[in-house]
């Protein structure tokens, strides 16, 4: 899925059948970083899909000296970090993976310093890393910045830390660092997403002591050492949401297998308000939709348990086929509307006030085929959804982006009757 490949979609067909949800990228990436904390032995993480971001993380881990054996068919990775040898994170990898910052705490603990050039990922505007660095400094790290960021230190002491914004990676980083700092740390305004919960349980299994899971205040007691473990990572609610909205926009009925419905409550409610039928059958969601004649929706993104910013581009595609005006407000990222230009190529009518973070979608849209080039995972997912509702051919360039967040997209969509091919 690299080079000049593109996704070709011929939409206008209702979906049917079943699809399984993949393992959660946003839970697995911090687990991979934390698997470098034990000083000897192998950790095993299961339910790990071969997403581009995860494969880059493996390269980073090998670069610093870890042995990483990945069994793609079994979705299992085995990590042995007994012999870490270097603490510089190369720009060729960090520019492709914003989650590179998660490797700071384990390298700081094991080697006493980390060198970090730039950090990549999705171009979503101001995603400030200062609160990561301020948190490390409060625990006793020294931070110097020239051409590289250098974070160093030997002895760390627990402290109270406050996140200006309940950042996912910020919370994970400070949980890891607090776990090897002597005494007790309190992390205020922590993120409370399900992925944070799963990752905290990963650290607890390793011997960490973390209290207050699921709340905005975490208390972490430092421990002398963490030990290797075997852990089955949670499923990906963002992957589940993509398929839910695919059924919503294309019409038809599909079953989505491996869902934690409680993690998707707000998305389920919003889709039901639009006139999509969602049946919860344990950990399976049955989603059926007429695909047209949907009701407009109002959405305001905010930290969990609010409406996830990662779902905003996809629900914008869905709102394009609703009868009337939908109001979509983005309150997390200031560059999270990049999909609007691509949706307009497909014929969507969207009024945008970027300063106020407001998009007004004027539905219903009759989509027409176009050649698109979305610049991040979620924008690519949005165009994929629009393509499912477009009777003509839709092309999505930049295939690498969707492969950062969704595994084997071509076959999984073909399984439910969509005409999606990688050329």
Query: In whole angstroms, what is the distance from residue 223 CA to residue 220 CA?
Result: 9
Residue 22 gets which letter from DSSP? P
Judged by phi (left if over 0) then psi (alpha if -120 to 50, else beta), residue 309 lies in alpha
Q: Is 122 a catalytic residue?
A: yes
Active-site annotation holder among 20, 122, 382, 390: 122
- Strands (DSSP E) found in 66-170: 67-71, 76-80, 113-116, 142-145, 149-152, 160-162
| CB distance 257 to 20 below 8 Å | yes
Query: In whole angstroms, what is the distance from residue 294 CA to residue 245 CA?
Result: 12
Residue 14 has a CB neighbour count (10 Å cut-off) of 18
Query: In whole angstroms, what is the distance from residue 209 CA to residue 194 CA?
Result: 18
| CB distance 152 to 189 below 8 Å | no
Residue 84 gets which letter from DSSP? -
Query: In whole angstroms, what is the distance from residue 394 CA to residue 378 CA?
Result: 17
User: 353 exposed, middle or buried (CB, 10 Å; 0-12, 13-18, 19+)?
Assistant: exposed
- Catalytic amino acids? 122
């Amino acid at each position: 899925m690299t080079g000049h490949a593109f996704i070709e979609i011929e939409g206008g067909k209702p979906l049917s059948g079943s699809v399984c949800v993949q393992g959660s990228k946003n839970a697995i990436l911090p687990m991979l970083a934390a698997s470098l904390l034990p000083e000897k032995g192998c950790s095993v993480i299961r339910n790990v899909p071969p997403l581009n971001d995860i494969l880059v993380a493996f390269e980073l881990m090998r670069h610093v000296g870890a042995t990483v054996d990945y069994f793609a068919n079994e979705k299992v990775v085995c990590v042995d970090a007994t012999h870490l040898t270097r603490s510089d994170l190369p720009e060729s990898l960090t520019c492709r993976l914003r989650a590179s910052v998660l490797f700071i705490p384990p390298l700081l603990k094991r080697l006493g310093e980390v060198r970090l050039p730039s950090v990549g990922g999705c171009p979503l505007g101001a995603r400030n890393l200062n609160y990561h660095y301020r948190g490390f400094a409060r625990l006793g790290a020294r931070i110097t910045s020239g051409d590289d960021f250098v974070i160093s230190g030997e002895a760390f002491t627990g402290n109270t830390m406050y996140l200006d914004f309940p950042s996912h990676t910020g919370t994970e980083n400070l949980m890891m660092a607090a776990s090897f700092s002597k005494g007790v740390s309190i992390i205020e305004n922590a993120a409370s997403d399900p992925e944070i919960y799963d990752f905290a349980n990963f650290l607890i299994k390793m011997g960490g002591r973390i209290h207050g899971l699921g709340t905005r205040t975490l208390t972490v007691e430092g421990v002398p050492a963490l030990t290797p473990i075997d852990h089955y990572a949670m499923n990906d609610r963002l992957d589940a949401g993509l398929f839910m909205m695919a059924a919503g926009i294309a019409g038809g009925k599909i079953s989505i297998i491996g869902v934690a419905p409680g993690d998707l409550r707000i998305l389920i409610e919003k889709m039901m308000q639009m006139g999509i039928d969602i049946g919860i059958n344990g950990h399976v969601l049955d989603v059926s939709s007429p695909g047209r004649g949907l009701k407009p929706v109002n959405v305001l993104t905010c930290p969990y348990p609010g409406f996830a910013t990662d779902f905003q581009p996809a629900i914008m595609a869905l709102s394009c086929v609703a009868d009337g005006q939908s109001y979509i407000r983005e309150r997390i990222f200031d560059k999270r509307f990049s999909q609007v230009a691509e949706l307009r190529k497909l014929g969507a009518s969207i009024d945008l006030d970027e300063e106020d973070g407001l998009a007004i979608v004027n539905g219903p849209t009759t989509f027409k085929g176009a050649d698109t080039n979305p610049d991040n995972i979620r924008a690519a997912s949005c165009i994929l959804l629009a393509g499912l509702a477009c009777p003509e051919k839709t092309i999505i360039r930049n295939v690498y982006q969707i492969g950062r967040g969704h595994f084997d997209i071509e076959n999984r969509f073909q399984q439910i009757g969509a005409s999606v091919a990688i050329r």
